[in-house]
Structure 1
Amino acid sequence: MRRRRFLSLISTATFFLPGWNSTGWLQAEEEKTTDLLKTFVDEFVAITPGTASFPASFQMGSSQGEPNEKPVHEVKLSKAFAIAKYEVPQNLFHAVMGYNPSRWPGPRNSAERMSWNEANEFCRKVTAALRADKRIEQDETIRLPTEAEWEYCCRAGTETRYSFGDEPRTKADLPPATSILNEFAWHTGNAAGNDPQVGVLKPNPWGLYDIHGYLWEFTADAWSPNYEQAPADGSAVTSEDESSKIVIRGGSWKDAYPLLTSSARRGLSKTAKDDAIGFRCVKSK
């Protein structure tokens, strides 16, 4: 009797499978995406160079760093913009792109293992979605930060090696467990893998989380081996060569403290993917 009843229930049940074209299921997915878009927009930090605590200009690069961080030069930013306080999380990336490339799954973990081209495609798609949802103006766009904007926001008005000071440890002879860096960044000294949620550690002075470590972050710039020809207005260095490298910033959970400074930079192929690389977005006119 129980077996017949069980089979009867199976024959009359409706199964909600991913991709099933049900109005109710699609509506739930749309509502979920709308909530994610709202959260995404709400988590931007307004940056207004030349007002309040935002300096009009800053010294980009480091005289103590590697050759690709030199020469130190002044950059003046004249336009306001906003930057995401977190790297793009996996739930939002999946909602916008329809897939999640990440090795370390978790809805609020940073999305990783996408290419630079895929990150730009995300920016195009999320811009269209936010405009359609009337969450940004029609003349606003979501994009990758320029390298200068990224360093300006990472430094947050500071002139030290990190946004929290010059030293990653309280004393040079102390073990990594007492590292100041541990309070702000996931790196080789405290990360077993790229698996935490965004925003677990302390933010920089402007409220940006995981700006040091966790994941390297894409920028809009083509790679230059130094700053000899760097723009002074904060604009991106561009290249029409599809084989040219782009710039990533911030260091990752796979790196030691020297690569997590505010000025550290690396070149990367546009098609390269890694579980230590992700991105955060900028919103601008």
Structure 2
Amino acid sequence: MVVIPSGGFLMGSPHDEPGRGDGEGPQHHVTMDKPFAMSRGAITVREFRSFVEDAGYRTGAERGNKGCFVWNKGSREWERHQDCNWRNPGFHPDDRAPVVGVSWEDAMAYVKWLGDKTGKDYRLPSEAEWEYAARAGTSTPFSTGNRIGSDSANYDANYHYADCKARPDVSKSKIAPVGSLPANPWGLCEMHGNVWEWVADCWHESYRDAPVDGSPWYEENDGVRSQRVARGGGWNSEPSDLRSANRVKFCLDAADIYLGFRVARSLSD
């Protein structure tokens, strides 16, 4: 776990940021009154397996043959495969890689188990905590500045961003083990790219009336309970998806091979 300092930041993106989505505004100041901790990287296959074996847990994708969406390299389309889940996401999962094929509900089950096992307040980070930690004191689209490259993030380099050239020759086209790429200024790995990460919040179409204290935003002010927010972009994402302010929505029972999570923890006074 990495301790994230208390402080404030401007959440969301300015109107002139390339790739900006409508849901990234209005920009608003958020203040974290207390430091908190966040896992250095996404929860790995090995860590998730420990939970499954100890708790006798079955993920949503494993129950009822729901399966996961899998990327078809030939057709370059996403297809639902009923036999795919975190154990078999369409490729051989490296124990050191982020676990994928897990829904928001699965992630919540993991953090509850972890909290019960350790006696500590583990949880999913709020959307504000996630963006604050991803920015790591920066106000640019990425913690690396106005540009992102394959030396600092795992994404689909077939696409360009602003004045960053496309580099199809360097695309990894697969998930990388946690810690494969340099950490951001606050010591967190792969906040940009590799896998999308669930956060606690319900989906809201904008930040109008959003909390300003870093707390999760649930159903109040027209939040959609059945939809949750994911952040960070994935190995298959365009670079604009990796921006610190970018946000997308998924149904809370969605389990796809680009969706994972990391954990946060409140710190004792």
**Common fold: TM-score over 0.5:** yes
The TM-score by the shorter chain falls in which range?
0.7 to 0.9
* Equivalent of residue 8 in structure 2, options 43, 57, 60: 57
What displacement does 1:48 show? 2.5
What displacement does 1:59 show? 0.3
Whether 1:164 aligns to 2:164 is no
Q: Which has the higher helix share?
A: 1
What displacement does 1:142 show? 0.7
Match of 1:7 in 2: none
Greater CA drift, 141-150 or 57-66: 57-66
Please state whether the residue corresponding to 2:37 is helix, strand or coil.
strand
Match of 1:114 in 2: 102
Instruction: Please report the TM-score for the alignment, with normalisation by the length of structure 2.
Output: 0.77
Residue identity matched to 2:4 = I
Partners of 1:200 and 1:251 lie apart in 2 by 16
Match of 1:45 in 2: 2
What displacement does 1:270 show? 0.3
Match of 2:234 in 1: 252
Match of 1:236 in 2: 216
| Cα-to-partner distance string for 1:182-230 (whole Å, 9 max, x where unaligned) | 1121111222222x21111111101100100000000000001111121
Gapped runs of 5+ residues in structure 1? 1-43, 50-55, 132-139, 169-180
Gapped runs of 5+ residues in structure 2? 59-84, 158-170
What displacement does 1:243 show? 5.2
What displacement does 1:242 show? 8.0
Q: Bigger relative contact order, structure 1 or 2, given CA contacts below 8 A and separation 6+?
A: 2
Residue identity matched to 1:128 = D
Please state whether the residue corresponding to 2:107 is helix, strand or coil.
helix
Paired residues, what number?
A: 215
RMSD: 1.6
Q: Give the fraction of aligned pairs with identical amino acids, expressed as a percent.
A: 34
Give runs of ≥4 in structure 1 deviating > 2 Å: 239-244
Please state whether the residue corresponding to 1:125 is helix, strand or coil.
helix
| Cα-to-partner distance string for 1:55-87 (whole Å, 9 max, x where unaligned) | x21000001221100111100111221000110
Partners of 2:181 and 2:99 lie apart in 1 by 17
Match of 2:191 in 1: 211
* Equivalent of residue 192 in structure 1, options 152, 173, 182: 173
Q: How does 1:145-184 map to 2 (within 5 A)?
A: 145-168=125-148, 181-184=149-152
Q: Which has the larger radius of gyration?
A: 1
